[in-house]
Amino acid sequence: MPSIVETRNLYKSFGSFKAVNGLSFSIEKGDVYGFLGQNGAGKSTTMRMIMGLIFPDSGEIFINGETFNNSKRHLLKNIGAVIERPDMYGYLSGWDNLRIFAALSDKNITKARLHEVLEVVGLTGREKDKVKAYSQGMKQRLGIAIALVHQPDLLVLDEPTNGLDPQGIAEMRQLINRLSGDLGKTVMVSSHLLHEIEQVATGMLVIHKGKKIVSGKVKDLLNPDETLVSVAVTNDTHFVEKLNQSQWGKMMERTTSGSATFKMNPSVIPDLNKWLVEHDFRVKEIKSEHSLEAYFLSLTHDTDTQN
């Protein structure tokens, strides 16, 4: 698949602080691309560079295969973005905010189009209410409506679930799935809420202290054979010794008194449980730790240790 956005060796510093340090990645058309990192990792800085709000110290950005720089701002016409919290006129209605921002586009935005994007983001029936009366989730969805009004192919969302309650987070997840699945948009979404990204992303980039740690397709990165499975037993006499002498020994990652952690495919957990019972170990707990959160924490922990 062709890339809608590609960066090559991006650097950006603010004084002595390196916010982005040699960052290269590409987003394929049709992806929901999860951009993951702790607060201060460089996510917002990278998104601002893609949107032309700031420019890199060095490196290149390509949009639909063309080099993007200050003289090629027309390339941004195919991108919509909500960077941090959307800034709107609280004393005006949602409809008036949408109409004002639509007027800034060089496209002829019809009233039908305004109604269409309001329906997409779930604000039909609330468009006449003043924005100051909106919940944070409604403001975020209005911001996305504004970003969608000129029909971009790529939508860039910076921490769209920040400040939302569980219901608002679920609604945002459903909206991202609809934007991708029903409307065919490519979505780049940054977050530190890893469980949410795991449920929507097809591609993924993990950034830490401005550097890329890993990137690729989520289905490839979260290899089921790399699942961490922890086991706890109530009688630990010769527990580790017997495990080491068995076929399970080669899968063990670490052990403590009465517990062990394995790297394995979850499909063999029943066989492991059967072996434990047959060898007279009383199983207290078996749980799988395979998740984007566990993967992310293992990557960033290793990086912190090395640094």
Determine how β-strand 203-208 pairs with β-strand 32-36: parallel
199 and 257, same structural domain? no
232 and 92, same structural domain? no
CATH of the domain at 252: 3.30.70
217 and 238, same structural domain? no
% the chain with pLDDT above 90: 62
40 and 136, same structural domain? yes
- Say if 302 falls within a structural domain: no
Q: What is the mean pLDDT of the chain?
A: 89
> What six digits make up the tokens of 242?
């017997």
- Say if 73 falls within a structural domain: yes
Whether residue 183 is predicted with pLDDT greater than 50 in this model: the reply is: yes
Lowest mean pLDDT among 165-169, 177-181, 197-201: 197-201
Last residue of a domain, one of 169, 196, 221: 221
- Say if 125 falls within a structural domain: yes
- Say if 65 falls within a structural domain: yes
Name the domain count of the chain.
2
**pTM reported for the whole predicted model:** 0.77
244 and 120, same structural domain? no
Q: By residue range, what is the domain housing residue 249?
A: 224-289
Q: Which residues contact 93 (CB under 8 A, 6 or more apart)?
A: 127, 128, 129, 130, 131
Q: In what order do the strands lie in the sheet with 58-63?
A: 17-28, 3-14, 58-63, 66-67
What CA–CA distance (Å, rounded) separates 32 from 157?
11
* 226-277 pLDDT per residue, tens: 778 889 999 888 898 999 999 999 998 888 888 898 888 888 999 999 999 9
User: pLDDT category, 298, cuts 50, 70, 90?
Assistant: low
Whether residue 303 is predicted with pLDDT greater than 60 in this model: the reply is: no
Q: Work out the average pLDDT over 197-224.
A: 84
